[in-house]
Amino acid sequence: MATFPVIDLEKLNGEERTATMDQINDACENWGFFELLNHGIPHDFLDTVERLTKEYYKKCMEHRFKELVASKALEGLQAEVTDMDWESTFFLRHLPESNMAEIPDLADEYREVMKEFALKLEKLAEELLDLLCENLWLEKGYLKEAFHGTRGPTFGTKVSNYPPCPTPDKIKGLRAHTDAGGIILLFQDAQVSGLQLLKDGKWVDVPPLRHSIVINLGDQLEVITNGKYKSVEHRVIAQTNGARMSIASFYNPGGDAVIHPAPALVEKEAEEKKQLYPKFVFEDYMKLYAGLKFQAKEPRFEAMKARETTLPSQQLKESIREIKERKSVIQWHWCVFDFIIVNTTTKGIIMKSIII
């Protein structure tokens, strides 16, 4: 099997530019994932992000995780747990407006560093979208524009820790799913692995490389490219030793952006056979995704396609209900969406799902 694509972005500036662009294109077509070296974000800055994230987890999240997730997950555990994940997480929204001020116990230094990190990642995301445009023969800025809507893209960071797990065969760090949005930039732990993607029916490790940024493509890029590029299923395996840090930033379309296959990428044959991906408003897709994250993406595309032609007001709810019934799975799960904030109020737990 081919090895996981690791791409040295600096080579875009030299005589290996064409080969590097081909490498990126191959990764987008055949992996949905790649890992970037020399991406322009200074290593000492990444070290600071890592240190402050781990400190924040120890100080503000670890106790809460043990009390609220670990004890619940391990309670009378016999069969595999399929309705929750072994992860501790909080979400920072950057665009269209920041929610940093609402996150409890965030030290000023950590807040400032994460703001700067978001700016660097936003820039990198937009550079990458233009590299994808170049490979797809779309005009520069096409994808950024496609994501824009009336208020620009949505951009947020899910900060996760996967603590050591005594029973990794019984519960996933994060269950298998594809990402709903646009392009995802992940700064992951260099010591503790666990992220896997599904390639040709087999789970493949995404190798932890110090100071790299892992990129993966979300469902929206699959739609815009009419399937030329694919969002790929991935999961996190909990580890018995070591806590894994994972900081995933999601550069997504604006809520009211209308997503559809790029006309230039719709091959005539596909059009004639009506093999077109759907056209929809991004926030409608997200409403559907919120209930179906851990199921296959194809029924989501089908539901949006059906909605495209009928569009009655109840249709979205109906689509969710039908898919759930068809799968005979009605899951209540802790993580209804990518982005969760856990609040402890009095003795209770509030799980807020946030849709961006």
Instruction: Give the footprint of Fe ion on this chain (CB under 5 A).
Output: 179
Which residue is listed with tokens 């951009």? 155
Nearer residue to Fe ion within complex by CB, 106 or 215: 215
Structure tokens at 295: 């199921």
Structure tokens at 346: 């009095």
| Shortest distance in whole angstroms from residue 338 CB to Fe ion | 7
Q: What are phi and psi of 71, to 5 degrees?
A: -65, -40
| Shortest distance in whole angstroms from residue 269 CB to Fe ion | 32
Q: Contact, 157 vs 213, CB < 8 A?
A: no
| Shortest distance in whole angstroms from residue 177 CB to Fe ion | 6
Structure tokens at 225: 């490219």
| Shortest distance in whole angstroms from residue 178 CB to Fe ion | 7
| Shortest distance in whole angstroms from residue 80 CB to Fe ion | 20
Q: Contact, 27 vs 56, CB < 8 A?
A: no
Structure tokens at 181: 């949005």
| Shortest distance in whole angstroms from residue 250 CB to Fe ion | 9
Nearer residue to Fe ion within complex by CB, 53 or 178: 178
Nearer residue to Fe ion within complex by CB, 186 or 316: 186
Nearer residue to Fe ion within complex by CB, 179 or 219: 179
Nearer residue to Fe ion within complex by CB, 41 or 232: 232
Residue closest to Fe ion when measured from CB atoms: 179
Helix (H) or strand (E) holding 217: strand 213-217
Nearer residue to Fe ion within complex by CB, 35 or 179: 179
The DSSP-derived string for 79-133 is SPP-S--S-EEEEEEEESS--GGGSTT--HHHHHHHHHHHHHHHHHHHHHHHHHH
Give first-to-last CA distance, the chain, whole Å. Answer: 36
